[in-house]
Amino acid sequence: MTIATADLYDERGDDLDSLSLQLLDLGGCVAFDGPVRTVRCHRDNALVKQVLATPGDAAVLVVDGGGSLESALVGDLIAASAVENGWAGVIVHGAIRDRAALASLPVGVKALGSNPRKSAKDGVGEVDVPVTIAGVVFTPGRHVWADADGVLVER
């Protein structure tokens, strides 16, 4: 990422939505950006794993886990798969696990928190649909930027 989100917002203002939700920086890259891909799921990370195992082309996967901290949607193996497949980052409206391992991987990871509990693996959810997190709509194909200051997405 070559421009800070604060500077980008100063330049583009109303063309962008700013996520007010406070997320933790948990991956090895704090600043990342790319086209939006999405998964909507609840306590089931099978679709997250499936999507991150495909070529990412420097995209950012936005995972709407409904804000649940009851089980992790991304762990070290799934994040390592994202690195191998060229994803820029993952934004999780929910929990991750394996914090220490994620911090050592060259990928952006933002999430609400962590929980060592595994999630279900049933494949329940939706892929590449618009998801709304804290009033901000993440539409597949739009661009998202993330850094230490927060998350911006094209309207």
What does the pLDDT read at residue 107? 98
Cα torsion angle, 12, 87, 151, 7, sign: negative
Report the DSSP beta bridge partners of residue 17: 153
1 has a pLDDT exceeding 70 = no
pLDDT digits (tens, 9 = 90+) for 55-72: 999 999 999 999 999 999
Q: Which of 42, 25, 47 shows the shortest CA–CA distance to 108? A: 25
pLDDT digits (tens, 9 = 90+) for 14-23: 999 999 999 9
5 has a pLDDT exceeding 90 = yes
- Give this prediction's pTM: 0.97
What does the pLDDT read at residue 114? 98
